[in-house]
Amino acid sequence: MSSAGREVLLGVGGGIAAYKACDLVRRMQDHGFLVTVVPTPASLNFVGKATWEALSGRPVLTQVWDDVPSVAHIRLAEVSDYIIIAPATADLIARLAQGRADDLLTNVVLASGAAKLVVPAMHPEMWNDPATQTNVEILRQRGFLVLDPEVGRLTGNEIGAGRFPETARILESLHEISGTHADLLGKRILVTAGGTREPIDPVRFIGNRSSGKQGFAIAQAAIARGAIVHVIAANCPDLDLEGAQITRVETTAQLGDVLRNDFSDCDVLIMCAAVADARPSSVPENKIKKDKLAAIELVPNPDLLLEMSALKSSGQVIIGFAAETENLLENAKEKLTRKNLDILYVNDVSRGAVFGSDHTKGSILLRSGEVIQISEASKDTLANVLLDQLL
109 vs 236, which CB is nearer to ligand CTP? 236
Give one DSSP letter per residue of 294-332, joined into a string: S---EEEPP-HHHHHHHH--TT-EEEEEEEESSSHHHHH
Closest distance between ligand CTP and the C-beta of residue 276, in Å?
7
Closest distance between ligand CTP and the C-beta of residue 214, in Å?
11
75 vs 260, which CB is nearer to ligand CTP? 260
- Per CB under 6 A, residues contacting ligand CTP are 271, 273, 275, 277, 301, 303-305, 320-323, 335
Q: Interior CA angle at 109 toward 104 and 115, to 5°?
A: 145
Under DSSP, the state recorded for 154 is -
Q: At what angle do helices 104-111 and 72-79 cross, to 10 degrees?
A: 50
Closest distance between ligand CTP and the C-beta of residue 363, in Å?
13
247 vs 301, which CB is nearer to ligand CTP? 301
Distance CA 219, CA 205 (A): 27
> What are the C-alpha distances in Å from 332 to residues 210, 337, 369, 371?
18, 9, 11, 11
Closest distance between ligand CTP and the C-beta of residue 238, in Å?
20
Which three-class secondary structure state does DSSP give residue 318? strand
DSSP β-ladder status, 298-300 and 34-39: unpaired
Distance CA 52, CA 55 (A): 5
Which three-class secondary structure state does DSSP give residue 389? helix
Closest distance between ligand CTP and the C-beta of residue 305, in Å?
3
Catalytic residue among 107, 135, 208, 347: 208
Backbone angles phi, psi at 97, to 5 degrees: -65, -35
**Residue 347 annotated to the active site:** no
Distance CA 299, CA 35 (A): 49
Element (H, E) at 60: none
181 vs 361, which CB is nearer to ligand CTP? 361
Backbone angles phi, psi at 390, to 5 degrees: -65, -35
Under DSSP, the state recorded for 44 is G
86 vs 318, which CB is nearer to ligand CTP? 318
96 vs 234, which CB is nearer to ligand CTP? 234
Closest distance between ligand CTP and the C-beta of residue 259, in Å?
8
* CB burial readout 201-221, b (16+ within 10 A) else e: beebbbbbebbbbbbbbbbbb
User: Would you please indicate which residues are annotated as catalytic (active-site) residues?
Assistant: 208
